[in-house]
Structure 1
Amino acid sequence: MTKIFISCALPYANGPCHLGHIRSTYLPADIYARYNRMIGNDVLLVCATDEHGTPIAVKADKENKKPIEIAKRYHDLIVKDVESMNISLDNFTRTTDEIHYEIAQNFFKDLYDEGLIYRQDLEQLYCPNCNKFLPDRYVEGLCPVCGSEARGDHCEKCGRALDPTELDEPHCITCGTTPIIKDTYQYAFKLSEFEDDLKDYIANNENLPANVRNYAMNWLEDGLNDWTLTRDMDWGIPVPLEEAKGKVLYVWIEAFLGYISSAAQWSRKTGNKWEEYWNDFVVHFIGKDIIYHHSIFWPGLLKAHDCKLPDMIYAGEFLSLEGEKMSTSKNWVIWIADFVKDFEPDLLRYFLTINAPLNKDSDFSWDDFQRRNNDELADVIGNFLHRTFTFTRKFFDSKVPEYKNPSEEDEEFRKAIQELPDAVGEYITNFEFREGLLEIFKVAKKGNKYFNDCEPWKAVKEDMQKAANCLHLSNQLAKTLAYVLKPYLPTKADEIAKIINLNNLDDWEDAKVPLPEGYEINKAKPLFKKIDDDVIDEEKKKLKENLNENEDENMSDLISIDDFDEVVIKIGQVLEAEKIEKSDKLLKLQVDIGEEKPRQIVAGLAKFYSPEELVDRKVCVVANLQPAKLFGTLSEGMILATGESGALLSPDENAEIGERIQ
Structure 2
Amino acid sequence: MANSDSERLLVTAALPYANGPIHIGHLAGAYLPADLFARYQRLKGRDMAFICGSDEMGVAILMRAIREDRTPEDIIDTYHPQIQENFARFGMSFDYYGRTSSDTHVETTQDFFRALDEKEVFELKTEEQLYDPEADMFLADRFVMGTCPICGYDEAYGDQCEQCGSSLSPTELEDPQSTLTDATPERKETTHWYLPLGELQPKLEEWIGSHPEWKNNVLGQIKSWFDEGLKSRAITRDVPWGVPVPEDVAERHGLEAEGKVIYVWFDAPIGYISATKEWAEEQGTPEQWADYWQNKDTRLVHFIGKDNIVFHCLMFPAMLMEHGDYVLPDNVPANEFLNLEGRKLSTSRGWAVWLHEYLDDFEDERHGPDLLRYALAATLPETGDADFSWDGFQQRVNGELANVFGNFVHRTLTFAHRYFDGTVPPLEAPSKADRAMLDAMREVPDAVGTAYEEYRTREAVFETMGLARRGNKYFNETEPWHTHESDPQACANTIHVSLQVCAALSVLFEPVLPSAAAELRDRLGLEDVRTSTPGEEPAGPDSRRGWDDAGTLLLAAGHELQSDPDANPLFEKIDDTQIEAQVERLRDRAEAQESESTPSTDMLDDLRDPISFDDFTELDLRSGTVTAAEPVPDADKLLRLKVDIGLDERQMLAGVAEQMDPNDLVGLDVVVVANMEPKEMFGFESQGMVLMAEEPDGTFVPVTTDAENGSVVR
Query: Normalising by the residue count of structure 2, what TM-score does the alignment of the two structures yield?
Result: 0.78
User: Offset of 1:362 from its aligned partner?
Assistant: 0.9
Counterpart position of 2:518: 494
Are 1:142 and 2:153 an aligned pair?
no
CA offsets per residue over residues 500-531 of structure 1, 9 Å max, x none?
01235412233223311111112243111111
2: CA distance, partners of 1:308 / 1:574: 63
C-alpha displacement of 1:399: 0.8
- 1:269 is the counterpart of 2:282: yes
Q: List per-residue Cα deviations over 1:57-87 (Å, max 9, x = no partner).
A: 1110111111111011111111022111111
Distance change in 2, residues 1:409/1:181 (3 Å): same
Match of 1:89 among 94, 108, 111: 94
Determine the structure 2 residue equivalent to 1:592: none
- Identify which range, 145-154 or 390-399, moves more after superposition: 145-154
Paired positions, count: 584
1-structure distance, mates of 2:604, 2:505:
66
Distance 2:333 2:608 in 1: 52
Q: Distance in 2 between matches of 1:644 and 1:227?
A: 36
Task: State the partner residue of 1:648.
Answer: none
Aligned to 2:208: 202
Q: Is the partner of 2:573 in helix, strand or coil?
A: coil
SS in 2 for 1:14: coil
Name the residue aligned to 1:316. 335
Letter in 2 for 1:248: V
In 1, Cα distance between equivalents of 2:322 and 2:605:
58
Separation in structure 2 between the aligned mates of residue 644 and residue 190 of structure 1, nearest angstrom: 41
Q: Does 1:19 align with 2:24?
A: yes
- TM superposition score normalised by structure 1: 0.84
Match of 2:559 in 1: 519
User: Secondary structure of 1:256's match?
Assistant: helix
Partner of 1:407: 431
Q: Secondary structure at the match of 1:7?
A: strand
CA contact (8 A) 1:357 1:432 kept: no
Give distance in 2, aligned partners of 1:215 and 1:246: 34
What is the aligned-residue RMSD (CA, Å)? 2.5
**Partner amino acid for 1:75?**
H
The counterpart of 1:509, out of the listed 535, 543, 548, is 548
Q: Structure 1, residues 549-596: CA drift from partner, whole Å, max 9, x if none?
A: 1112213x4344xx8899684344789xxxxxxxxxxxxxxxxxxxxx
Relative to structure 1, the CA distance from residue 558 to residue 142 in structure 2 (aligned partners, 3 Å threshold; closer, same or farther) is: farther
Provide the residue aligned with 1:528 in structure 2: 571
Cα pair distance change 1:110/1:317, threshold 3 Å: same
Which residue in 2 is equivalent to 1:558?
600
| Partner of residue 375, structure 2 | 351
Hey, what does 1:287 align to over in structure 2?
305
Give, in whole Å, the separation in 1 of the partners of 2:496 and 2:406: 18
Question: Does the CA contact (< 8 Å) of 1:86 and 1:490 recur in 2?
Answer: yes
* Compared CA separation, residues 574 and 201, structure 1 to 2 (3 A): farther
1:293-331 CA-to-partner distances (Å, cap 9, x unmatched) read: 111111111111013211111101110101111111111
* Runs of at least 5 residues in structure 2 that lack an aligned partner in the other structure: 1-5, 363-367, 531-545, 616-672, 679-699, 703-713
Instruction: Give the corresponding residue for 1:40.
Output: 45
- Report matched runs for 1:197-596 at 5 Å: 197-240=203-246, 241-242=250-251, 243=255, 244-272=257-285, 273-278=288-293, 279=295, 280-306=298-324, 307-343=326-362, 344-356=368-380, 358-503=382-527, 505-506=529-530, 507-511=546-550, 512-521=552-561, 522-523=563-564, 524-555=567-598, 557-560=599-602, 569-572=609-612
Secondary structure of 1:205's match?
coil
Quick one: which of 169, 192, 198 aligns to 2:198? 192
| Letter of the structure 2 residue corresponding to residue 250 of structure 1 | Y
Q: How far does residue 131 in structure 1 lie from its aligned partner after superposition?
A: 2.6
Deviation at 1:402? Answer: 1.3
Alpha-carbon distance between aligned partners in 1 of 2:128 and 2:451, rounded to the nearest angstrom: 51
Is residue 72 of structure 1 aligned with residue 114 of structure 2? no
Contact 1:116 1:189 (8 Å CA) reproduced:
yes
**Equivalent position SS for 1:181:** strand
Cα distance, 1:193–1:371 mapped onto 2, change above 3 Å: same
**Runs of 4+ that moved beyond 4 A:** 563-569, 607-610
Matched AA of 1:317? E
Q: Report the residue type matching 1:131 in the other structure.
A: D
Letter aligned with residue 94 of structure 2? L
Post-superposition offset of 1:207:
4.4
Helix, strand or coil at the partner of 1:126:
strand
Superposed CA deviations along residues 178-236 of structure 1, whole A, max 9, x for unmatched, are 22333322111222221111001111124422221221122111222211111111111
CA distance in 2, matches of 1:564, 1:448: 60
CA change 1:470–1:644 in 2 (3 A) is: closer
Q: Report which stretch shifted further, 483-492 or 452-461.
A: 452-461
Q: 1:342 to 1:123 in 2, by over 3 A?
A: same
CA distance in 2, matches of 1:358, 1:609: 38
Q: CA deviation at 1:88?
A: 0.7
What is the match of residue 597 of structure 1?
Answer: none
Structure-2 change in CA distance of 1:114 and 1:436 (3 Å): same
